[in-house]
Amino acid sequence: MSQLQLAEPPVHPGHEPAAPLADEAREPLKKKQIAADHPTWCPGCGDFAVLSLYFKLIEKRGLWQEKLATVAGIGCSSRFPYFVQGHGAHFIHGRALPFATGVSLARPDLHVFAFGGDGDAFSIGGNHFNHTARKNLNLTYVVMDNFVYGLTKKQTSPTSPLGFKSKTDMWGAVDQPINPMKQAIAAGATFVARTTHTNPKHVLEVFEAALDHNGFSFVECLSECVEFFPGAFNETNPRKGGAFDEVPEDHDVTDELAAYKLAGADFPGYFGVFYKVDRPTKNELEAGINEKFQAKVEGLKPWQILRQNFDRMK
Amino acid sequence: MSEAPAPASAESEGGSQVSKISEVVIRIAGNSQDGIQSIGGFLARLAGRSEQEVMTFMTIPSTISGGPSIFQVRVGTGEVLSAGDDADVLLAFYQHSYENHIESLKPGGVVLYDSDHVEEKEEYRENYRHVGIPISSLTVEAIGGTARDKGKNIFALGLIARTFDLDSEKLAGLITEKFKGKGGKVLENALAGFHAGYGYSIGDVFETFEFHEAEGKNYEQVVMAGNEALAYGLIAGGVRFGAGYPITPWSDIMELLRRELPKYGGSFIQCEDEIASVAMAIGAGFAGVVSCTGSSGPGISLKSEALGWAQMAEIPLVVIDVQRGGPSTGMPTNIEQSDLNIACYGAHGDSPRVVVAPSDVEDCFYIAIEAVNIARKYNVPVLVLTDQAIATRIEAFADPDLESIVQEFPPDLTPVKDHKPYDLSVPDGVTTRVVPGTRIESGQYPIATGLEHNEMGHPSASPKMHMEMMAKRRNKLKALARELPTPEVYGPNEGNVLLVGWGSTQGPMREAVDRARAKGDSISSLSIRHINPLPEGLEEIFAGFHHVHVVETNDEGLYGFGQLGGLLRSRYADPKIKGINKTDGLTWKVREILERVEEKLAADQA
């Protein structure tokens, strides 16, 4: 049996190797270097704040582009990767998490951030949310929750409150909305936090905690859609007469039941880390399996490992 | 034993006849839990070690436990191209096995039956030779009272070994290899059952057989099923990540990869659904690890949107489709080649797809490696279309030179000066990828995207850009087409009839050519492995024949062509391309192909 021999692909301009650069010789990235396209969001959109706080996180923590992958699905907020100057992918609707999982498992050297909206996370991608949480993948998922479908211009979303008037519920939404915090806790997420775009300091704190968490870190960040659901989050904003109640100091973040109760508070609810526990990540568990099997074939080249199988099939 | 056996007979020591044969087709019929597949597996492996050719065919019920099942094995000293139209020997465990399969025997064929469960029928006595053996009770006797009739498959294996003078020591060795890990008692019982069957005297009732000396092959053979060959081919090709969801008949591949990849530092992940699995595999491919997913019919439908994304974003990925009977849930354990259209066209938008199809078990191994190399060079998803007939059948093939074949592609993170992921200046649109984790000196980083985009991967709605990017994605595949070898015609390059097929039809088509040419017919065959894009040179081949019949295990469609037939028609606009199709869920018999060709030729003349 002869194999198809393919010619080497052409080399294209710019692909010459660059000189190595020692970490010590590098400055942390500045906002100017991390920002790419000007966002296509409507003026006043909450997503601007989330983006600039992602830049802040990168700046503050001294991350470089080769340490990060920014991934999203489809939706207004999912345009995120285009606005970040770094390796990124804009995947299909609802599937950002399994895509991000592939990146995370294949490349333990990267920190993977997935961004998306409530439709992406809890409607079309609802199944993936639960399974990524229970498998405890080492990645951060930020859902920019605006309680409405924005990109398609005002249909009911899975987090739209009862009575919300949209183009698909002109008399007001009738379906019980999803509570993202409860969903995440019940699914087995190991880091569950809630914040809102109008409190930048809080967003950054939560982002940092999420980055530092070993495992699936889920952040719901309320992010107002000024076009289709203006004022949705006024109740969370003290400047607009609302209340920004942080998670009580005496809350035990390892207490699942307490976290679930906290998540059940009426809107506007609480902000901060609801739940945080340590459980082996999928990445660690798979690496553990590999370690065990690789010990048995130590010193063998891949063809020699395969040889063992083929010899048994003679 | 292709004709009535008994050409060169001689008296054996026991007084029975010994006939020299060059090949035999044995059909074993029972229930799925009887372990009849392992009888077949042992016979196939023995043939492989005896330098004989072997091919098997099996059916399994789609129910979880129980239900009738068959395993057919054809072993020969010459070239074995198909599992055989009719059987020489039927081994029947139950009344239903006997009644449903006796007519699969050649006239004069032998039925060995378990007389504890089967009653002979008068009507079959004239045409077939009957040998009743109390297999169940003899097995219990040999192994001990508590074993019930578990192990009667191994007893039957012994019987077959005696009947065909098979190497009992080698078989005992194979049994030992298989059962030694399961504890002393299990192995002891298996060997006891085998020796009891081998020692059972059937010498007085009918003759035994002996194979002609095999032509000395100067190479060693390995014996495996198509799904195994494909999975090992993926590993050899350098696949180190996979994701999938269980579905028959693809699951064997994911199970094997789950078990084997960790040794190579890779992982196979079982996902929550088909969409997650393709998304995860694409994510790993994006991240620079050679990656695969796979499924069967319904799962491929679910993966379509994401495959379109991989095509658009130019991410390498290998996708296995072990085809089964469709549409919808269809016939999950039957054979069909009806996913060619979804493989080639199954996504919205103009999204040309690379599709390849292995033509036998050996080819499963090599085509998987080819798929990896095409995916990596051209940054495309490559669909490998195999089918149930190849997936589950066992063949022996030359042991590959793994040292020179096995590939390893760790992610290349060498920093580069600059990078445009969708650079339009590169010849034929064959751009190189730079994966996450790579530092790019210019500070300009790529985005992989499903939106129409500019050279950096940022959204662009410019009509010019859309046309240029569309051409880039098309031109890559045209460049690939130029690299593909023209397939070789089996038989003369010119003549009256050319049979064209893909996948598992190769063997039966070739045997049909051999048989018809022996009678003086002018007929050749052509197997196409590269389905999309098609290799160059097919037009010239077709020009050498008066009739081109495309043999496929799929429906004749609204216009009289199967799925490859339709593709060839639209590509070559040649009215002499016609379809020979069927959807009975079974492999093609050689006889069937020849009859259908006759019908077509007669219809053309009328």
B495 conformational bin, left if phi > 0, alpha if psi -120 to 50, beta if neither? left
pLDDT for the residue B516: 97
pLDDT digits (tens, 9 = 90+) for B240-254: 999 999 999 999 999
- Whether residue A114 is predicted with pLDDT greater than 50 in this model: the reply is yes
| Residue A232 sits at the chain B interface (C-beta within 8 Å) | no
Q: Is the pLDDT of residue B6 over 90?
A: no
Residues of A in contact with B444 (CB under 8 A): 85
Q: Which of residues 399-418 of B touch A (CB under 8 A)?
A: 399-400, 402-403, 405-406, 408, 411, 413-418
Q: How confident is the model at residue B440 (pLDDT cuts 50, 70, 90)?
A: very high
Which residues in chain B touch residue A90, judged by CB atoms under 8 angstroms apart?
Answer: 447-451
Mean pLDDT of the region B416-423: 96
Interface test with B, best of A5, A38, A66, A281 (most B CBs within 10 A): A66
Mean pLDDT of B94-122: 93
Q: Does A9 touch chain B (CB under 8 A)?
A: yes
Establish if B292 touches chain A: CB-CB under 8 angstroms: no
pLDDT score recorded for residue B7: 36
By the CB < 8 Å criterion, does A130 face chain B?
Answer: yes
CA distance A164 to chain B (A): 31
CA angle A249, A255, A257 (to 5 degrees): 110
Least confident of A190-204, A226-240, B182-196: B182-196
Test A102 with B280 for CB contact under 8 angstroms.
yes
The residue-averaged pLDDT of A134-160 equals: 98
Q: Do B415 and A21 make contact, defined as CB atoms within 8 angstroms?
A: yes
Q: Which of B399, B426, B449 sits opposite A90 (nearest CB)?
A: B449
- A-chain CB neighbours of B410 within 8 Å are none
B17 pLDDT band (50/70/90 cuts)? low
**pLDDT band at residue B564 using 50, 70 and 90 as cut-offs:** very high
Give me the helix-helix angle, B168-179 and B36-49, nearest 10°. 120
CB-nearest to B272 from A14, A128, A313 is A128
Q: What is the average pLDDT across A92-121?
A: 98
Under the banding of pLDDT at 50, 70 and 90, the label for residue B98 is very high
Q: A249-263, B150-164, B288-302: lowest mean pLDDT where?
A: B150-164
pLDDT in tens, B311-326: 999 999 999 999 999 9
pLDDT of residue B218: 73
Q: Compare all CA atoms of chain A with the CA of B414 and give the residue at the minimum distance.
A: A17
Q: Residues of B with CB below 8 A from A75's CB?
A: none
B451-478 pLDDT tens trace: 999 999 999 999 999 999 999 999 999 9
Q: What confidence score (pLDDT) does residue A232 get?
A: 97
| d(CA B201, nearest CA chain A) in Å | 31
Q: Does A125 touch chain B (CB under 8 A)?
A: no
| pLDDT mean over A267-292 | 98
Answer yes or no: are the C-beta atoms of A273 and A192 closer than 8 Å. Answer: yes
Of A17, A36, A88, the CB nearest to B414: A17
User: What value does the mean pLDDT of chain A take?
Assistant: 96
Residue A87 clears pLDDT 80, i.e. is over it: yes
User: What confidence score (pLDDT) does residue B33 get?
Assistant: 80
Rounded CA-CA distance A212/B145 in Å is 64
Q: In degrees, to the nearest 5, what angle opens at C-alpha B593 toward C-alphas B227 and B21?
A: 75
Mean pLDDT of chain B: 91
CA B284 – CA A104 distance, rounded (Å) = 8
Among B227, B285, B219, B226, residue whose Cα is nearest residue B251: B227
| B422 to chain A: closest CA residue | A12
* Strand ranges of the sheet holding B530-532, from the earlier edge strand across to the other edge: B267-270, B241-244, B291-295, B317-323, B381-387, B354-356, B530-532
A82·B458 Cβ contact <8 A: yes
Kindly give the interhelix angle for B274-286 and B297-313, rounded to the nearest 10 degrees. 30
**Cα-based angle A120, A121, A125 (whole degrees, multiple of 5):** 75
- For the stretch B218-274, pLDDT in tens is 788 999 999 999 999 999 999 999 999 999 999 999 999 999 999 999 999 999 999
Q: CA-nearest residue of chain B to A125?
A: B276
| pLDDT, position B2 | 41
Work out the percent of chain B whose per-residue pLDDT is above 70.
93
B352 or B209: whose pLDDT is higher?
A: B352
Interface test with B, best of A1, A113, A286 (most B CBs within 10 A): A1
Nearest to B430 among A10, A13, A101 (CB): A10
Task: Report the pLDDT value the prediction gives residue B66, as an integer from 0 to 100.
Answer: 67
Is B442's CB within 8 Å of A110's CB? no
Convert the pLDDT of each residue in B574-590 to its tens digit: 999 999 999 999 999 99
Judging contacts by C-beta atoms under 8 Å, the chain A residues touching residue B311 are: none
Count of CB atoms situated within 10 Å of the CB of B508: 27
pLDDT grade for B563, boundaries at 50, 70 and 90: very high
Band of the pLDDT at B22, cuts 50, 70, 90?
confident
B68: confidence class by pLDDT, cuts 50, 70, 90:
confident
Asked whether the predicted pLDDT for residue B59 surpasses 80, the reply is: no
Do residue B241 and residue A105 have CB atoms under 8 angstroms apart? yes
Contact A37 B417 (CB under 8 A): no
Question: B572 by DSSP, 3-state: which?
Answer: helix
Q: Does A89 score more than 70 pLDDT?
A: yes
| Chain A closest-CA separation from residue B583 CA (Å) | 31
Above 50 in pLDDT, residue B14? no
Determine contact: A21 vs chain B, CB below 8 A: yes
Query: Is a pLDDT exceeding 60 seen at residue B569?
Result: yes
User: A14, B416: Cβ pair inside 8 Å?
Assistant: yes
pLDDT band at A117 (very low <50, low <70, confident <90, very high): very high
Residues 6+ positions from A98 with CB-CB distance below 8 Å: A128, A132, B243, B271, B275, B276, B277, B279, B280, B283
Report the interhelical angle of B361-378 vs B463-483 (nearest 10°): 140
Task: Confirm if B142 and B150 have CB atoms less than 8 A apart.
Answer: no
User: Measured in whole angstroms, how far is the alpha carbon of residue B540 from the centre of its chain?
Assistant: 29
Contact B260 A3 (CB under 8 A): no
Q: Is B440–A1 a contact, with Cβ atoms under 8 angstroms apart?
A: no
Q: Which residue of B has its CA nearest to A107?
A: B287
Cβ of B51 under 8 Å from any chain A Cβ? no
Is the confidence at residue A105, as pLDDT, over 90? yes
The answer, yes or no, to whether the previous bond of B533 is cis (omega within 30 of 0) is yes
Mean pLDDT (whole number) for B489-502: 98
A151 Cβ under 8 Å from any chain B Cβ? no
A307 against B53, higher pLDDT: A307
Asked if the model's pLDDT at residue A215 lies above 50, the reply is yes
Contact B232 A69 (CB under 8 A): no
| Residue A107 near chain B (CB below 8 Å) | yes
**Segment A16-37 mean pLDDT:** 91
Structure-token pair, residue B239:
């696949």
Residue B483 and residue A4: Cβ atoms within 8 Å? yes
Compute the distance between CA of residue B14 and CA of residue B21 in angstroms, rounded to an integer: 19
Given this model, what pLDDT does residue A170 score? 97
Nearest to A1 among B282, B363, B432 (CB): B363
- Interchain CB distance below 8 Å, A306 and B408: no
User: Average pLDDT for residues A250-273, to the nearest whole number?
Assistant: 98
B356 CB neighbours in chain A (<8 A) are none
| A294 touches B: beta carbon within 8 Å | yes
Residues of A in contact with B370 (CB under 8 A): 3-4
Q: Tell me whether A299 touches chain B (CB under 8 Å).
A: no
- Percent of chain B beyond pLDDT 90? 71
Mean pLDDT, range A228-245, rounded to an integer: 97
Q: Among residues B515, B510, B520, B517, which one has the least CA distance to residue B489? A: B510
Instruction: Give the CA dihedral B503, B506, B507, B508, nearest 10 degrees.
Output: 110
| Residue B338: Cβ within 10 Å count | 22
User: What is the predicted pLDDT for the residue at B11?
Assistant: 43
* pLDDT tens per residue across span B164-218: 888 889 899 999 988 888 877 888 889 999 999 998 876 555 667 777 776 666 7
Instruction: Give the number of other Cβ atoms within 10 Å of residue B588's Cβ.
Output: 26
A10 pLDDT above the threshold of 90: no
For residues B376 and B63, the model is more confident at B376
Length of chain B equals: 606
Statement: residue A22 has pLDDT above 50: yes
Among B262, B309, B365, the residue with its CB nearest the CB of A91 is: B309
**pTM for the full model?**
0.94
Closest chain B C-alpha to A5 CA, distance in angstroms? 8
Interface residue B520 vs chain A (CB under 8 A): no
Looking at the complex, does the CB of residue B449 fall below 8 Å from at least one CB of chain A? yes
pLDDT range class, residue A135, cuts 50, 70, 90: very high
Q: Does A285 touch chain B (CB under 8 A)?
A: no
Residue B560 in 3-state DSSP?
A: coil
Q: How far is A17 from chain B (nearest CA, A)?
A: 4
Contact call for residues B322 and B227 (beta carbons, < 8 A): yes
